[in-house]
Amino acid sequence: MTFEHVFADLAGVPANRFTDPQGLAGLLLAAANAAALNPASPPVVKTGPRGVSAALLCHGGLVALHGLPEAGLCFADVAGLGGALPQRGLDVIVKRLGAREVRTDARRRGPVTQTTPPEAS
């Protein structure tokens, strides 16, 4: 079993994109839907002195972001078990936040296997 994991650093995001908690919750739900993920609970959006954090736990995955409105920066993260389409979810986030610059990475994650050291002779 593997996880598909995509994440991105976004820059040039207008600060007003982070001011509506309901809008951010809707963004997480839309991204999960696009990624073929099923929410396990309602989205959580919290604003604090170090920006905005938002997360949606899904059965077999997640959608999350952390934004710094005053700097126009955001980190976005979408992951799901094999069969999920996290890149589609990330595309929704990038488009709706209106980022001017995007740096992405994608990883296939799976079991960590230990290698057995060679036996000493």
pTM: 0.86
Q: What is the mean pLDDT of residues 30-34?
A: 97
What confidence tier does 110 reach under pLDDT thresholds 50, 70, 90? Answer: confident
Distances (CA, A) of 8 to 73, 94, 96, 103: 11, 9, 14, 5
Q: How much is the pLDDT for 2?
A: 80
The answer to whether residue 109 scores a pLDDT higher than 80 is no
> Half-sphere exposure of residue 119, counting CA atoms within 13 Å on the CB side?
1
Q: Identify which has the larger pLDDT, 4 or 89.
A: 89
Q: How much is the pLDDT for 11?
A: 97
